[in-house]
Each structure stands twice: as C-alpha cells, then as structure tokens.
Amino acid sequence: MNLVTNSETPWLCFKDPMSKLVYWVHSKCACSFYKRIFKHLGWTETNTTDIDWDNDVIFSYMRDPLVKHRVGIIEWFYFNNCEYLLKDNFGSEQFFVLLSQATYLDWHSMSILDHLGKEKVSKIIWFPIDTEINHVGETIKLIEQHRPVPAEYKKIILEEKPYHTSGGFKKLCNEKILKIQPTPMIIKSLEYDRWLYDTVTKKNFEPANYPQRIEFLKSRGLTQEEAEQQADNDVHTGEYLNWDKE
C-alpha cells in the first residue's frame, strides 16, 4: 500500500505554455483521456509544487466520490499486477467487504481532500464526468477564456476517444464492490468530497450530523429557521467540517 496523505505531495499536472491554465490529474476521473489530450497539445508535464495557487487557473475532473473510491480500490490490484488476488477471491463476499472498508489503498482511491487539502481544493475549477454536463465542451470553453483555440486544437480534443474503460473481469469486480453498503467510516472519510461533488453538480448536500447541528444551534437560542439558515451556510462554505470540533 502507498499510504500517502500529504497535501504537499507533488501530484502530476499539465500546464499550458501559453496561459495560466493547469490541469491537475485526478485518478479514475477520465485522467488517461485528458493526459493524452494535453500531451498531444504540447502542455508541459509538471506537478503541484510548481503551481502558483494564487494566480494559476487550475482545473480538474471528478465523479461520484463513492464510485471513485470503490473503482480506485479495484484499480490498485491492476496497477500493482495483483489482479490474481481478485480472481482467487472473487467468490468471497467477505474479501470484497474488507476491500470496501479500506479508506484508501493509494492515490486511485484517495479522497480529493487527502490529496490536496481544503485550501487548494477550493481553488480548482471542477468538471463532473458522470453527469449530463459535457465535460469536454466545458473544457474547451475554459481554454477559450484564457487563450485562442485554433480549429485544429479543438479537433484534437473533440476527436480523442476514451480507451481506458473498465471491461471484462475488472468490470465485474467494480460492480461487485459497488453493491456493498458503505460503512459510516467510509461515508465520513468521503464527506468533504461528497459536499464538493454535490456543490458542483447542483445537488443538495446534507452532512450526517446536520440534525444534531440544528438542535445544537437551537440550544444556543436560535429559532428553527435561524438554525437551518446558519447550518446551510456552513455547508455551503465548508465550515461544517469544524462542527465536531466545537
């Protein structure tokens, strides 16, 4: 296992030599597709230690956090040439239950918060890859905001085809682990990512301890409406992560 949880780790990026655009590579979120595109377009391979977090325009891609976590767990076995372990234990429900309970095995299953930390995450423009949003089209729009995009540039992006999709036995493993109910620990470990994803996809996120927070605020003299308003604002800003610290 590569148990790295350090926001200072030099994670892979690609920087546009003609603008301040930087693509942060987020595993299991169309990264093979976009790495190919930006290499083809001549973007410079770099890492997060070279990013100017106050001035660069950083963007990346995301998917449902639980799905990303689960398929990332399975990816560890393929990345480390240990897929035989999945084949040997495919009939064992307990084996997959144990895998589903791992917070992460490496960067493929690591949360965005563990990757970068809250401050850096908040400075990234996010595109979901698993909704009706056209992430390829949105990528082109973003680039156009910061530099001219020649027709051949667009052609490269629009004609690139994804190839690193999971099929065969790997797909069966993904489907098997995705059917397992997440434990409270996993839900908690992905809570920030869930909030971020729901914010990006315009869904209403409510932390598990939201009802308790309402009661706490009411005990401090707030009305039901005032408590809900303050709690909702904390969720919107991410301040809800500090509720348990009070």
Q: What is the mean pLDDT of residues 221-226?
A: 90
Model pTM greater than 0.85? no
The values of phi and psi at residue 79, to 5°, are -65, -30
Q: Let me know if residue 179 belongs to a domain.
A: yes
- Structural domains in the chain (count): 1
Q: Let me know if residue 233 belongs to a domain.
A: no
Q: Let me know if residue 35 belongs to a domain.
A: yes
Tokens for 17, please give them: 């030599």
Nearest to 99 by CA among 118, 83, 115: 83
List pLDDT tens digits, range 132-191: 888 998 999 999 999 988 888 888 888 876 655 556 899 999 999 999 999 989 999 999
- Give the CA dihedral 202, 203, 209, 214, nearest 10 degrees: 70
Tokens for 185, please give them: 């620990």
Q: Let me know if residue 89 belongs to a domain.
A: yes
Range of the domain at 54: 12-183
State the helix-helix crossing angle for 224-237 and 210-219, rounded to 10 degrees.
130
pLDDT class for 7, splitting at 50, 70, 90? low
State the helix-helix crossing angle for 168-178 and 65-79, rounded to 10 degrees.
140
Q: Let me know if residue 28 belongs to a domain.
A: yes
Report the C-alpha gap between 165 and 61 in whole angstroms.
Answer: 16
Report the C-alpha gap between 183 and 185 in whole angstroms.
Answer: 5
Q: Let me know if residue 240 belongs to a domain.
A: no
Q: Let me know if residue 5 belongs to a domain.
A: no
List pLDDT tens digits, range 56-95: 999 999 999 999 999 999 999 999 999 999 999 999 999 9
Q: Let me know if residue 23 belongs to a domain.
A: yes
